[in-house]
A and B are shown apart, each in its own frame.
Chain A
């Protein structure tokens, strides 16, 4: 294991911020794994630190394939993590909206540039990331439709789903998108937690990464095969929104099957405790995402459901 200082930001009022990468094996830059870019991505940090621990053992056992190397960067934003802020500590900008970065630009552009110049030539790029709304997902690999995406390869993670969605204008400055532009095969892995540690879904994500690297001939690792991933597209999911604001009482969990007409949640009046609204499944399906905050606005997408009527 080699610890490499990828970027250091000097500070007047606090310790310098050091972005560290941990690399294993020698030779071709085969795979790079990036964890937390936001200060609340604790699960993402945890997964990377577990992976570093496992790679250290694999390297020790001679199970890194000859001529291949892997680097893991647990976080690029320790300054925000240390003070419990999601975005950059001073100006609130999002490092994951600053790629490929600019070494003469603003602070977070410099951070992105300092990271990206170290990781842009890897063959595979894997990022653990999170969504802007608090909620739980079925673990899945997400690829953005850029014309460079590789769905079949994404299935090698063996996670239940490979999810593809359109790139929107604001996606063009994410790490995933820029990796793809620089010809890295890039994948974002979503697990079911962000600001808390979910050991079970972390283990699933770790296994998925190891299984993927094993299939690409980068490491030698025996593990169960995982799932035969289903491919789904963003527009094929059903959004179930709230008509009413109030306290969100959820009945359906992520990954559960729901039948058309099921009451999958209720909205409770926050003053009288009465049911203000029942949230009904519009079709048969599997819950892919649900929000998890207790108080919700009207117009909030509460669930995203994979329709199953057309599945055999």
Chain B
């Protein structure tokens, strides 16, 4: 059943609507069912979650008799952003993931944020799917604030991702959807996978398998599920960042999610005007490349890769 979570009038004959679809067991609700919520589309240029929203519902509907709880799917909490290929909220130049928990009486984005939090709170788990940005490709991973490690790591392990990154907390991240929900006791897992403006079907299928496994553990699904893969779990200290020292055109010579040796060649930053190499990039450590630059043009400082030692 499609429900409207928040609605705001736009100036000319249009309503901005945040919608969700609710799937419930075929023979109705007893009132004791648990609920899982799948949320995506906070950043309008991140599309990987769109396929997951579809695929998860397709599989559930095919075996609706296996559904024993409630599934809420929110494909677009920044619908104007997705429609206009804008990362933030068009017209406000705001990153929607910096305004939670929102404010009922605030501006339009804050009002919507508060409605979304109200609607999601109380879920047994929330999966918030992101897709990096247009610049970087990410291996399917869950990112967890160290403050919620104990609650979230066991749930994250069910999601069938390759990697779990437990990162240190930063005040600025307190205005994310995930932080705002975790703080009120609604466990929320942030998935990052793929790259902006694309759909990587393989990753979408992999995560859908994981969401069903998590649903089974929570008692929301009793159908067949896969055995989730064993993710690598790491903390900040084990992650090395490689940033461009020069501007130019980055061309990698390693694959994503491949092992590299210390001093191994990662790629080059080329100068198309002079025909020379501005900078050669080497691995600072042995490890695996879990983030790799996808968008070729780089400035000094642009992130090239992250390597997990």
Using a CB–CB distance below 8 Å, which chain A residues touch chain B?
9-13, 86-87, 90-92, 97, 104-110, 132-133, 168-170, 172-173, 239, 241, 244-247, 270-271, 295-301
Do B175 and A239 touch (CB < 8 A)? no
**Is there contact, CB below 8 Å, between B92 and A170?**
no
Contact B8 A12 (CB under 8 A): no
- Chain A residues, Cβ within 8 Å of B171: 169, 172
Closest to A239 in B: B105
Contact assessment for A270 and B11 in the assembled complex, using a CB-CB cutoff below 8 Å: yes
Which residue of chain B lies nearest to A301 when distances are taken between CB atoms in the complex? B107
Contacts of A108 in B (CB 8 A): 301
Complex CA distance for A168 and B102, rounded to whole angstroms: 12
The answer to whether B10 touches A9 (Cβ under 8 A) is no
Of the residues B174, B241, B247, contact of A11 by C-beta under 8 Å = B247
Query: Within the complex, what minimum Cβ distance (angstroms) separates A266 from chain B?
Result: 14
Q: Please judge, given known A-B contacts A87-B93, A107-B300, whether A297 and B10 are in contact too, CB under 8 Å.
A: yes
Choose from A86, A133, A169 the contact partner of B174 (Cβ within 8 Å). Answer: A169
Give the shortest distance, in Å, between B304 (CB) and chain A (any CB). 11
Dominant SS among interface residues on chain A: loop
Shortest beta-carbon distance from B236 to chain A in Å: 14
Check B13 for interface membership: any CB of A closer than 8 A.
yes
B107 touches which of A107, A110, A244, A299 (Cβ 8 Å): A299
- Contacting A170 at CB < 8 Å: which of B16, B172, B300, B303? B172
Residues of chain B contacted by A12 (CB below 8 angstroms): 247-249, 271-273, 278, 297
Whole-angstrom distance between the Cβ of B278 and the nearest chain A Cβ: 8
Chain B residue at minimal CB-CB distance from A102:
B301
B172 touches A169 (CB 8 A): yes
Nearest CB in chain B: distance from A74 CB, A:
22
B105: A residues at CB distance < 8 A: 239, 241
By the criterion CB–CB under 8 Å, are B243 and A104 in contact? Answer: yes
Q: Are B175 and A169 in contact (CB under 8 A)?
A: yes
Q: Which residue of A lies closest to B179 (CB)?
A: A169
In chain B, positions 77-131 with a C-beta closer than 8 Å to chain A are: 87-88, 91-94, 98-99, 105-108, 111
